[in-house]
Amino acid sequence: MQAVLEAVVEPRRREILRLVRARETSAGTIAAHFPDVSRPTVSQHLRVLRDAGLLHERREGTRRLYRTRIEGLTEVRAFFAEFWDDRLQVLKAEAEAEQRRRDADRDG
């Protein structure tokens, strides 16, 4: 989750995510939207976003195409959904073991 949060701190990176949210866009077209930013800097932003799981990257010949990966932004909720699934299974096992122990104490 840290990578996601760090990725979106930078305003240019948020602009990139907005730009390629609706449709796949080439690196060149993305760079053209930022005339005041050097091409290597744009490439760096794309790399950070891709590594954080926020951008989907596809190669087509020598071109690289990018699209916002919506599921990369569901991490906080997804993390805790899975967390509760796991924890509640352990709760069930532990509470049932505790109940058996109490019943045995009472009966014995």
Partner 1 sequence: MPTEMADPIIREIDIEAAPETVFEFFTDPAKLTRWLAVEATLDPRPGGVCHQVHEGAPGRGPYLMHGEFLEVDPPKRVVFTWGFSNSDVGVAPGASTVEVTLSPVGAGTRVLLVHRGLPVAAVEDHSGGWTIMLDRLRAAVTGQ
Binding site for partner 1 (CB under 8 A): 1-2, 4-6, 8-9, 14, 17-18, 21, 68, 70, 73-78, 80-81, 84-85, 87-92, 94-96, 98-99, 102
Gyration radius of the chain over CA positions: 23
| DSSP H stretches of helix in the chain | 2-9, 11-19, 27-32, 39-51, 75-107
Shortest reach from residue 83's CB to partner 1, in Å: 9
Contact yes or no for 67/25 (Cβ under 8 A): yes
Closest CB to partner 1 among residues 39, 95: 95
Shortest reach from residue 63's CB to partner 1, in Å: 25
Q: How far is CA 32 from CA 5, 16, 35, 37, 55, in A?
A: 25, 11, 6, 9, 18
Closest CB to partner 1 among residues 32, 95: 95
Shortest reach from residue 94's CB to partner 1, in Å: 5
